[in-house]
């Protein structure tokens, strides 16, 4: 039997519905050879959650987000947004999934080294690293991997400041990453958005953060400012790294996390900021952390995380090509 093919992308090749096939990120090509990453974007899983202080489970975040992302594997033609009158993530944007960093149970040091190694391999290939955690401590080895890169600013979207220096000997847990980051000579400053309510960081931590170059913005402050004015607070013409903790969102839409905090963002609050970031700055890396799928039987937290990443990657490359960022 002959099959009639047309020029329309959706009429060629396999239909490839979301529930068919293997759950790589957005059903993109798996590249297990880390010396042969030839792509614009490389997805790395960091299924580590030994740094949590309350509910574990973020080790299953990469698996959950990957599976959810198959919903947005739009076939061959990219994704058209009628509000922006733009098609995002067409065939011109090459995305590969390189699998997960190897995690050694009970061994934080080696697990973090393995995450750092994976990110360094992505940077060496000149692809954009996108890391799916894991708890927020995975940001520590990620930022370590940028030690040979040009200086950059970090944008953190999160419910918690994550600025604890050391507590009972712990320096590399999920309450420490922004403190460890600002200590790096190549990190020029922090913009911390969404910080609210009772925090794991004491008042002294907030004082230290501001002294060390952090701009701290709560959810209510951000909503008064709006997306454009919030992002205008970031120093202009900066290379930026964006770290997103899913608990930045209200648990009414993202219950699947270890440390939920009410009063958080809704979807478009964050999406509009990410779109502004992609217009104004060169994004050099992304992580999305603290998705713990087992606390959300609906799967909506993983879907939110996947949708956010797909849109943000789409914005970055659309603006890179159209605005020459």
Q: How many domains is the chain partitioned into structurally?
A: 1
Query: Looking at the domain assignment, is residue 1 inside a domain?
Result: no
Structural tokens at position 161: 């400041």
Query: Looking at the domain assignment, is residue 106 inside a domain?
Result: yes
User: Cis ω on the peptide bond leading into residue 244 (within 30° of 0)?
Assistant: no
pTM of the model: 0.93
Query: Looking at the domain assignment, is residue 7 inside a domain?
Result: no
The mean of the pLDDT values for the chain is 91
CA 40 – CA 189 distance, rounded (Å): 26
Query: Looking at the domain assignment, is residue 43 inside a domain?
Result: yes
**219-249 pLDDT per residue, tens:** 999 999 999 999 999 999 899 999 999 999 9
Query: Looking at the domain assignment, is residue 8 inside a domain?
Result: no
Q: Return the percentage of the chain with pLDDT > 90, whole number.
A: 76
**96-113 pLDDT per residue, tens:** 999 999 999 999 999 999
Query: Looking at the domain assignment, is residue 102 inside a domain?
Result: yes
Query: Looking at the domain assignment, is residue 197 inside a domain?
Result: yes
Query: Looking at the domain assignment, is residue 13 inside a domain?
Result: no
Q: Which domain holds residue 288?
A: 21-322
Q: Under a CB-based contact definition with an 8 Å cutoff, are residues 164 and 200 in contact?
A: yes
Strand 41-46 and strand 79-81: pairing? unpaired
CATH number of the structural domain spanning residue 115: 3.40.800.10
């Amino acid at each position: 039997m002959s099959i009639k093919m047309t020029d329309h992308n959706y009429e060629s090749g396999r239909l490839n519905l979301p529930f068919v096939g293997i759950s790589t990120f957005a059903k993109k090509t798996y590249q297990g050879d880390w010396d042969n990453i030839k792509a614009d974007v490389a997805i790395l899983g960091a299924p580590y959650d030994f740094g949590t202080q309350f509910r574990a489970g973020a080790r299953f975040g990469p698996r959950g987000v990957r599976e959810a992302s198959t919903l947005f594997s739009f076939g061959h033609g990219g994704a058209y947004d009628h509000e922006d009158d733009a098609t995002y993530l067409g065939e011109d944007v090459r995305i590969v999934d390189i699998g997960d960093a190897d995690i050694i149970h009970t061994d934080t040091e080696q697990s973090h080294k393995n995450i750092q190694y994976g990110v360094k391999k992505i940077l060496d290939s000149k692809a954009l690293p996108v890391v799916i955690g894991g708890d927020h401590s995975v940001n520590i080895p990620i930022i370590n991997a940028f030690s040979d890169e040009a200086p950059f600013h970090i944008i953190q979207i999160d419910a918690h400041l994550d600025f604890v220096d050391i507590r009972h000997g712990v320096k590399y847990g999920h309450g420490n990453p922004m403190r460890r980051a600002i200590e790096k000579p190549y990190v020029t400053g922090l913009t911390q958005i969404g910080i609210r309510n009772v925090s794991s960081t004491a008042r002294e931590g907030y004082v230290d953060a501001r002294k060390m170059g952090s701009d701290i913005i709560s959810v209510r402050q951000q909503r008064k400012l709006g997306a454009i004015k919030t992002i205008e607070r970031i120093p202009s013409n900066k290379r930026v790294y964006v770290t997103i903790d899913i608990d930045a969102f209200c648990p009414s839409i993202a219950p699947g996390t270890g440390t939920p905090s009410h009063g958080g963002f809704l979807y478009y609050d964050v999406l509009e900021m990410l779109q502004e970031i992609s217009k104004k700055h060169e994004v050099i890396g992304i992580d999305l952390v603290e998705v713990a799928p087992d606390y959300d039987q609906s799967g909506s937290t993983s879907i939110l995380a996947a949708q956010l990443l797909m849109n943000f990657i789409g914005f970055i490359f659309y603006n890179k090509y159209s605005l020459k960022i």
